[in-house]
């Protein structure tokens, strides 16, 4: 059994196209999608169209849920919300929050019980993400009988082998390698490369293996689009993999 896992595309269609081309070049036919498909200042509708066309087994992320809540409330000035059509909202609404894939793989966005949870990592008092303790991770996996558990949300690629043998994998983010937030403290997450990221999962021989893949693509258009919409954090992260903070420089993008 071999398949790819993608997550956190966030409307970055060029990154998604690069990842899907890489998956196809490797001869992998099966893909699962862990949510946060279109949210952000990029190409929400065009990304939704591509994902709808592919029809991957998919779950709803916390940002997908928020977009649906905005629609239920009636309106929003967000650019992603204004781009999306009724069919796109219905597509997201049709997704479950968790999913068991082929009876062996459990899909969730944040953690099995919370779509907005940091699970394999946590935000420290220094405003940075740090690996979570094994006891905390195992508590989050309690009651999940699948051999492999896939999660997303943090955008940080990570693999953790639980002490009972189960494997928990975060495939990283296809479309957004850095961002900032305010809760529980002001923080920054930076992957350090602008490459699109996903994971390959395979069961053979001794059990499950996981490989994280980083795929280069031309980030120019999406960084420019984020910048034009005033989302400078997104523009910096997409172009470089780092979040530009006031008064500090980030490394230049590699051609």
In sequence order, what are the residues at sequence separation of 6 or more whose Cβ sits closer than 8 angstroms to the Cβ of residue 135?
none
What's the mean per-residue pLDDT of the chain? Answer: 94
Residue 163 DSSP label: T
- Domain-embedded: residue 157: yes
> With contact defined as beta carbons under 8 Å apart, do 160 and 135 qualify?
no
- Domain-embedded: residue 137: yes
Counted residue by residue, the chain has a size of: 255
Residue 12 DSSP label: -
- Domain-embedded: residue 149: yes
Distance CA 240, CA 124 (A): 24
Q: What's the total number of domains in the chain?
A: 1
Angle CA(21)–CA(110)–CA(23) in degrees, nearest 5? Answer: 10
- Domain-embedded: residue 245: no
Which tokens hold the place of 117? 């949870």
Over residues 58-83, the pLDDT tens digits come to 999 999 999 999 999 988 999 999 99
- Domain-embedded: residue 255: no
- Domain-embedded: residue 254: no
Domain hosting 208: range is: 2-240
In sequence order, what are the residues at sequence separation of 6 or more whose Cβ sits closer than 8 angstroms to the Cβ of residue 236?
178, 223, 242, 243, 244, 250
- Domain-embedded: residue 95: yes
| pTM for the model | 0.93
> With contact defined as beta carbons under 8 Å apart, do 136 and 162 qualify?
no
Over residues 166-224, the pLDDT tens digits come to 999 999 999 999 999 999 999 999 999 999 999 999 998 888 999 999 999 999 999 99
- Domain-embedded: residue 251: no
Over residues 118-157, the pLDDT tens digits come to 999 999 999 999 999 999 999 999 999 999 999 999 999 9
Q: Three-class SS of residue 147?
A: coil
Residue 250 pLDDT greater than 90, yes or no: no
Q: Indicate the helix (H) or strand (E) that contains 11.
A: none
The CATH number of the domain where 143 resides is what?
3.60.21.10
In sequence order, what are the residues at sequence separation of 6 or more whose Cβ sits closer than 8 angstroms to the Cβ of residue 13?
42, 43, 46, 47, 50
Q: Indicate the helix (H) or strand (E) that contains 108.
A: none
């Amino acid at each position: 059994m071999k398949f790819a896992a993608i997550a956190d595309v966030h409307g970055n269609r060029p990154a998604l196209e690069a990842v899907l081309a890489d998956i196809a070049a490797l001869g992998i036919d099966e893909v699962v999608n862990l949510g946060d498909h279109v949210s952000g200042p990029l190409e929400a509708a065009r990304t939704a169209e591509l994902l709808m066309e592919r029809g991957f087994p998919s779950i709803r992320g916390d940002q997908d849920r928020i977009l649906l809540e905005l629609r239920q409330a009636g309106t929003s000035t967000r650019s992603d919300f204004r781009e999306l059509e009724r069919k796109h909202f219905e597509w997201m609404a049709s997704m479950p929050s968790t999913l068991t894939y082929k009876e062996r793989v459990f899909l969730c966005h944040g953690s099995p019980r919370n779509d907005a949870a940091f699970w394999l990592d946590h935000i420290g008092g220094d405003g940075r993400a740090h690996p979570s303790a094994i006891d905390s991770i195992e508590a989050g996996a309690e009651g999940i009988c699948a051999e492999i558990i896939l999660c997303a949300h943090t955008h940080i690629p990570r693999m953790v082998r639980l002490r009972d043998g189960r494997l928990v994998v975060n495939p990283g983010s296809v479309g957004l390698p850095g961002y900032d937030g305010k809760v529980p403290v002001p923080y920054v997450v930076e992957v350090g490369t602008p490459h699109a990221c996903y994971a390959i999962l395979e069961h053979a021989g001794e059990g499950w293996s996981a490989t994280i893949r980083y795929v280069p693509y031309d980030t120019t258009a999406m960084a420019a689009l984020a910048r034009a919409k005033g989302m400078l954090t997104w523009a910096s992260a997409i172009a470089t993999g780092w979040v530009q903070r006031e008064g500090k420089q980030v490394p230049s993008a590699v051609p």
